[in-house]
Amino acid sequence: MRRDSKVYVAGHRGLVGSAIYRRLQAAGYTNLITRTSSQLDLRNQEAVEQFFRTKQPEYVFLAAAKVGGIHANRTYPAQFIYDNLAIQTNVIHAAYQSRVKKLLFLGSSCIYPKFAPQPMKEKCLLTGELEPTNEPYAIAKISGMKMCEAYNRQYGTDFLSVMPTNLYGIGDNFDLQNSHVIPALIRKFHEAKVTNSAFVEVWGTGNPRREFLFADDLADASVYLMENVSAIQLDGFVNIGTGQDLSIRELAQLIQQIVGYEGEIRFNTDQPDGTPRKLLDITKLSQLGWKASISLREGIVQTYEWYKTTVY
């Protein structure tokens, strides 16, 4: 990518898209193209194809998606599969039609089987049943990745797919009904501190282990891969993570400490745990020359400061 290349960031207001946009700006890219969902409904095939014909982007970061935690995935399974299938199908196909030079598709680590060997290698894909709580979302993401592979094989496109681990960071969603675990816990502990509540409830047993990646690290990896790696070199797709995990109990205690809440943590075991463990094998990513640089504590501190000044 040249610094004056036309670069379209789909989903630039979301957690991942906004981080990619910031990273591109910081690197000196001057011809960034964006559209809000009200300006361009990516589920509308005709509108998407017209946009690509008119703007002719050279490079595309496909970060637009419908995302959420366990509650959101259980409540809106039809929206999760339809919205994501429609968005990625329209953008990937339009990118091919308009001869986009390179596209990067953002998937998710939930593509792997519920009981995949840990840490999860790329070759584990489609070797077992998915986690039921987010199966519609996972199937959509698998489809997007396979679509990129199919277009590369049949049409010679250069479409990359990356599968990040659990993400958090600046611009996250703090709605307790739809958010992921880190923003939900930040909000719960902060509000409990402000209201002097005796305890904070955390879903599940606290035993599942999770890996977390700061969104700005994912953005850095995404730009690095677009600048330095082709689909042929990638040979399928690549995991993006830190290679380290911790239990939800340990995560809750860390956020409690960062927020400065002194009450009790209560685990609601009537609520589901989800997958027992999700840790990505990042050997392939390391061999491609990239590694994460922002620690979990540092990332949560930055996210909490942003939440206090921007959201709360």
**Which residues lie closer than 8 Å to 161 by C-beta, 6 or more apart?**
104, 105, 107, 144, 145, 148, 149, 234, 236, 237, 238
Tokens of 133: 């709580």
Coil, helix or strand at residue 188: helix
137 is an active site residue? yes
273 in a labelled binding site: yes
Rounded to whole angstroms, the Cα distance separating 31 from 9 reads: 11
Q: Are 81 and 136 in contact (CB under 8 A)?
A: yes
Q: Output phi, psi for 297, to 5 deg.
A: -60, -45
Q: Are 22 and 218 in contact (CB under 8 A)?
A: no
28 in a labelled binding site: no
The residue annotated as part of the active site, out of 137, 168, 304, 307, is 137
106 in a labelled binding site: yes
109 in a labelled binding site: yes
277 in a labelled binding site: no
127 in a labelled binding site: no
259 in a labelled binding site: no
60 in a labelled binding site: no
Q: Are 9 and 34 in contact (CB under 8 A)?
A: yes
Residue with tokens 């959101």: 72
180 in a labelled binding site: yes
167 in a labelled binding site: yes
Q: Pick out the residues of the known binding site for substrate.
A: 188, 203, 210, 273
Binding site feature residues: 11-17, 106-109, 141, 164-167, 180, 188, 203, 210, 273
- The set of catalytic residues is 137
Binding site, annotated residues for NADP(+):
11-17, 106-109, 141, 164-167, 180
